[in-house]
Amino acid sequence: MFASALIVFRESLEAALFIGIVAAATRDLAGRTRWIVTGAAEGLLGSLLLAASMEQVSGMAGGGGQDVLNAAFLSMALAMLAWHCIWITTHAREMVQQARNVGSQAHHQGQALWAIAIAVGVCVLREGAETVLFISGIAASAQSGWQVLLAGAGLGLLAGLGMGLLIYLGLTRIKVHYVFAVSNAFLLLLAGSLASQLAKVLTQADLVGVGSEALWDTSGALPEDSPPGMLLHALLGYDASPSALQLGFYLGAIAFIWLASRRVRAGLAPQGRPA
Amino acid sequence: MKTLKNLLLVPLAALSATLAFPGHAADTELQLVIKNHQFQPAEIKGPAAQKLRIQVHNQDSTPEEFESHSLKREKIIPGGAKATILVGPLKPGRYEFFGEFNPATAKGTLVIE
């Protein structure tokens, strides 16, 4: 029971933390709940479809179908998250100018939340498909005590969702003045994490042949499949033995979003001095 | 006559190998079966400094996820399906892998020597 709880906990944790952070980062935007719920619901629906067609997907692209699809999903989530991060830095200033251009802000807002809804949907889809396959495997195997395993899976799911709720409550308790900076920093780390996972998938699929050697190995001190390792993996993209490609993608994504945000902010600053 | 035959056969064999596994003609193949949520054999051996293709045949009716932290691979293998996991070139050593959906029973090691 504990084993199945842990497996489902790990799968649901990543998506739940993603949603919790995104929900906190967008909490003052109109209609954000609807966008996030829609994204998550479509992700769930997609994960059922993906789980059901896993056999066909696996056979595509000469047996590399899963990797190609994973790379596409990760790229899409990363692009959407990056776009949102860059856009949201302009939001603080827009809030100040709200009185002057309410109309254009509402317009931008709709676009940005569309991006975040896709990012949420893709995250739920990736983690959800694995969970669906795991649970359907338990239910189909009819091995003794499958009810207990299923109950464990349910507990794991609840625990994962609970962690998402916890980070949301934690982030929204931060003083209004800092909540924007803190939740945006978390979004940046999530983007780095997605980029690192993308690098891993590209190596696995043999699409990129360079930088695949592990730079270091901290699996002895902090294994990735231990609860703190899982938490750090989901929050910061912790990898016990990252490859050079993963580290490069991780830092590259964060640097790109940070620099792009600065440029956009500088371009918007009426005084001409970047904030 | 024999030399002529060899001259013809060698490129033909090479060609057919290339067609069967484009770009991986020289890779070493290792076979692995999943049965009753266990890897058979539980230990496979492969050469160092080479690309390896691990062919996994999941003979159970339920899906399994081949996962390895040290090899940095994870791949879902549906029930009854086959999958290929490309690894390497690797340094000599022991690389543990497991079935994520049945981690208590599905354990294996790739020994590189």
Q: What is the mean pLDDT of residues A185-200?
A: 95
pLDDT in tens, B23-39: 445 679 999 999 999 99
Do residues B32 and B108 touch, judged by C-beta distance below 8 A? Answer: yes
Q: Does the residue B20 lie in any domain?
A: no
pLDDT at A93 over 50: yes
| pTM score | 0.84
Q: Does the residue B78 lie in any domain?
A: yes
Q: What is the pLDDT of residue A175?
A: 80
Q: Does the residue B14 lie in any domain?
A: no
Tally the domains of chain B.
1
Q: Does the residue B10 lie in any domain?
A: no
Q: What is the pLDDT of residue B38?
A: 96
Q: Does the residue B3 lie in any domain?
A: no
Q: Which among A58, A63, A67 has CB closest to B78?
A: A58
Nearest to A110 by CA among A38, A11, A182, A14: A38
Q: What is the mean pLDDT of residues A5-13?
A: 90
Q: Which of A141, A222, A247 to mutate to test the interface with B (most CBs of B within 10 A)?
A: A141
Q: What is the pLDDT of residue A62?
A: 78
Q: Calculate the dihedral angle through the C-alpha atoms of A178, A180, A183, A189, rounding to the nearest 10 degrees.
A: -110
pLDDT at B100 over 50: yes
Q: What is the pLDDT of residue A110?
A: 55
User: Hey, which residues does A2 pair with through a beta bridge?
Assistant: none
- Residue B90: which CATH number? 2.60.40.420
Residues of A with CB under 8 A from a CB of B: 3, 7, 54-55, 58-59, 62-63, 66-67, 130, 133-134, 136-138, 140-141, 200, 203-206, 214, 219, 223-225, 240-241, 243
β-pair type (B52-58, B82-87): antiparallel
Q: Which among A55, A140, A225 has CB closest to B81?
A: A55
Q: What is the mean pLDDT of residues A106-123?
A: 78
Nearest CA in chain B to A133: B63
Q: Does the residue B80 lie in any domain?
A: yes
Q: Give A192-252 as a DSSP string.
A: HHHHHHHHHHHHHTTS--SS-SBS---TTTS-TTSHHHHHHHHHH---SS-BHHHHHHHHH
Q: Domains in chain A, start-ordered, CATH in brackets?
A: 2-268 (1.20.1250)
pLDDT at A275 over 80: no
Termini Cα distance of chain A: 52
Partner-chain contact A58 B83, CB within 8 Å: yes
Q: The domain containing residue B73 runs over which residues?
A: 25-112
Q: Does the residue B58 lie in any domain?
A: yes
How close A268 gets to chain B, by Cα (Å)? 43
Looking at per-residue pLDDT, the higher value among A23 and A268 belongs to: A23
Q: Does the residue B98 lie in any domain?
A: yes
Q: What is the pLDDT of residue A40?
A: 96
Chain B positions touching A142 (Cβ under 8 A) are none
Lowest mean pLDDT among A66-75, A133-142, A241-250, B87-96: A133-142
pLDDT in tens, A193-224: 999 999 999 999 988 888 988 899 998 999 98
Q: Which among A7, A54, A240 has CB closest to B69?
A: A240
In this prediction, the answer to ipTM > 0.85 reads no
Partner-chain contact A134 B86, CB within 8 Å: no
Token pair recorded at residue B46: 């492969």
By CB atoms closer than 10 A (0-12, 13-18, 19+), residue A211 is: middle
Residue A154 to residue A139: CA distance in whole angstroms: 13
Residue B12 to residue B64: CA distance in whole angstroms: 38
Do residues A134 and A12 touch, judged by C-beta distance below 8 A? Answer: no
